[in-house]
């Protein structure tokens, strides 16, 4: 792709805070010097929110084709929802908003697959809304993996130099132990190691691995998963050339900021990772999908229907997701 990279941003659920944080993120014209952001969504929806929230000073420029994105000033919007005639109702869950979110995602993904956009940044969607619209996906990640033909991928939560993955994600707590297997741990370590090398240019990544039980099992007194599952997985990873360390007790690991000594951290389950991560990076955390052939980032929060349309949404996380996407595009270009 000649010139500045184009970065595709999706509208997300237009009844949530997606349109607001897009407008606030893209209001600063200085970032257009480095890349060309393009919103895949609806001009009418963005104008609705710019008027509702008093953001009329942000110029919105409708384009018919991606090649027009670099020409002229203002925020380029590729309107892929005109035939839907979107009717925003801030704070409500609707099938139409769910369909609009997924159609914007489909168009943005196709542009990335064709090489017409260099990265994808997704604004939040509502799982309930997309299910009402007939889409049977748990969320963005599963949809993208299926469409891109990828079976091995994982979510990395990013905040500065902290990169945090999980073995088990969205499952009930009673099911976590079943998902913490040697094979799954090794799979996550391999994906994270490859991503650190390709996407961040780290030649010999150091990955810390947390234990499952309190105090990492305390030598088997508080559980034997560390001895029988996690440690053998780490040994196999090391034999394969992955610098994996642990297992560490999660509470002390974060309390002492030990994560600063490693390039990534692998937690065993959702809350073990998300509670410390959101304590540290509630407004600036980014979700990155490692293992995809394209760069995809998103803010680490949801649609926030309770504050939609009220002008209260902070754009920090989406802004960080956009900047990270640009950084990763540059890293991938160097590593090719």
DSSP string, 302-321: ---GGGTTTT----HHHHHH
Per-residue pLDDT reduced to its tens digit, 117-140:
999 999 999 999 999 999 988 889
Mean pLDDT on 217-233? 94
Mean pLDDT for 227-254 is 96
Structural contact between residues 269 and 168, judged by C-beta atoms closer than 8 angstroms: yes
Q: Which domains does the chain have, with CATH numbers?
A: 1-150+292-336 (3.40.718.10), 152-283 (3.40.718.10)
Which residues does 269 contact at the CB level (< 8 Å), separation at least 6?
Answer: 166, 167, 168, 169, 171, 173, 176, 179, 180, 212
pLDDT of residue 116: 95
- Highest-scoring range by mean pLDDT, 2-16, 90-104, 320-334: 90-104
pLDDT surpasses 50 at 1: no
3-class DSSP state of 15: coil
Alpha-carbon torsion angle 57, 63, 67, 72, nearest 10:
-30
pLDDT score of 336: 41
> Tens digit of pLDDT for each residue in 317-336?
999 999 999 999 988 875 54
> What is the C-alpha to C-alpha distance for residues 204 and 115, in angstroms, rounded to an integer?
29
Specify the pTM.
0.92
Render pLDDT for 296-320 as a digit per residue (tens, 0 to 9). Answer: 999 999 999 999 999 999 999 999 9
């Amino acid at each position: 792709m000649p010139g500045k990279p184009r970065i595709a941003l999706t509208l997300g659920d237009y009844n949530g805070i997606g349109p607001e944080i897009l407008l606030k993120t893209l209001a600063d014209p200085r970032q257009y010097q480095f890349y060309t952001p393009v919103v895949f969504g609806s001009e009418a929806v963005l104008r609705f929110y710019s008027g509702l929230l008093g953001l009329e000073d942000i110029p919105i420029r409708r384009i018919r084709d991606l090649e027009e994105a670099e020409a002229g000033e203002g925020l380029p919007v590729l309107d892929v929802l005109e035939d839907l005639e979107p009717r925003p109702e801030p704070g409500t869950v609707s099938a139409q908003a769910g369909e609009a979110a997924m159609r914007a995602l489909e168009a943005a993904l196709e542009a990335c697959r064709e090489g017409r956009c260099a990265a994808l940044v997704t604004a939040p969607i509502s799982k309930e809304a997309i299910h009402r619209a007939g889409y049977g996906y748990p969320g963005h990640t599963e949809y993208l993996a299926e469409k891109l033909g990828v079976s091995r991928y994982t979510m990395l939560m990013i905040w500065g130099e902290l990169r945090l993955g999980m073995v088990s994600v969205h499952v009930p707590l009673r099911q976590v132990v079943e998902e913490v297997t040697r094979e799954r741990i090794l799979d996550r370590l391999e994906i994270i190691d490859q991503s650190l090398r390709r996407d961040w240019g780290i030649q010999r990544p150091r990955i810390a691995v947390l234990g499952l039980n309190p105090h990492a099992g305390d030598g088997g007194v508080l559980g034997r998963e560390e001895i029988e599952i996690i440690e053998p997985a780490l040994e196999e990873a090391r034999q394969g050339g992955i610098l994996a360390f642990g297992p560490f007790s999660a509470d002390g690991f974060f309390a002492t900021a030990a994560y600063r000594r490693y390039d990534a951290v692998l937690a065993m389950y959702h809350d073990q990772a998300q509670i410390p991560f959101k304590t540290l990076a509630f407004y600036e955390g980014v979700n990155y999908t490692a293992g995809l052939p394209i760069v995809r980032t998103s803010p680490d929060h949801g649609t926030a229907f309770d504050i939609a349309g009220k002008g209260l949404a902070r754009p920090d996380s989406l802004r960080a997701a956009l900047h990270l996407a640009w950084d990763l595009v540059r890293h991938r270009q160097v590593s090719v």
